[in-house]
Amino acid sequence: MPVAQLNRIPAVAQAFQPAVMMGLLLIADVSENRIRLVVGLGNPGNAYRNTRHNAGFMVADKMAEDFNISFNKTKFDSVYGRGFVEKIDVVVAKPMAYMNRSGPPIQKLAYYYRIQCEDMLVIHDDIDLAYGRLKIKEKGGHGGHNGIRSLMEAFGRGDFVRLRIGVGRSKAGAGVTGHVLGRFSQEQSQSLNRIIKSARDAAVIVLSQGTKVGMNLFNGKDLKITE
């Protein structure tokens, strides 16, 4: 490379000149070291603890517990912790602004850590998915979910991965609000821990092996059935 051209390369790039000369190598290395943001959606406070709408919180708590990540930081109306999941640098967060205002706290947290929208995994309940089912989706609309709606409004797009946890619809004819803010039935509670653990496993697979692998392993599987 001519000296005149080399002098126009920023100092950081000059320090990694062999990688720059090899084209995409440097870009690949940087992308592997990027921070991921895992967001569990829910409502704060004991009144909402263990309700269907807090399924995202439950999975975030399980992931933090299993990977020794402490929710010891508070910023932008979120509680969060930072650690490693399968050697991946991860921030696990729970917005504390209530479900329908989840977007602004998470957008500010993502901006603070310079995390791109596509490097975010959002875990949430879904009434249109039967209890015991998980569904991983790369992007899409909000599907009537107020937490996802708020995130899309805050980020201006919906290009983030979602891990949907099926809570089903009320068989007793209860309204949507009453159903999602209610607790799991006694029958459902017998398999709930297994489903939360499976959702944790699905999140880990998405982070470490990619969305497509996660879809193949978990979408369409009935987790109420033991194998």
Rounded Cα distance, 10 and 17, in Å: 10
Q: Is 183 helix (H, G, I), strand (E, B) or coil?
A: strand
Nearest-angstrom CA–CA distance, 109 and 105: 6
Helix (H) or strand (E) holding 99: none
Q: What is the 3-state secondary structure (H, E, C) of 83-152?
A: EEECCEEEEEEEECCCHHHCHHHHHHHHHHCCCCHHHEEEEEEECCCCCCCEEEECCCCCCCCHHHHHHH
Element (H, E) at 3: helix 3-7
The residue from 53, 124, 145, 179 that is catalytic is 53
CA distance 204 to 213: 11
195, two tokens: 């489903």
- Look up residue 168 and give its two tokens: 């089903």
- For strands 36-40 and 88-95, give the pairing: parallel
Nearest to 136 by CA among 101, 166, 108: 166
Give the separation between CA 164 and CA 77, rounded to whole angstroms.
23
Active site residue 124: no
* Cβ-based neighbour number of residue 99 at 10 Å: 24
Active-site residues, by number, are 53
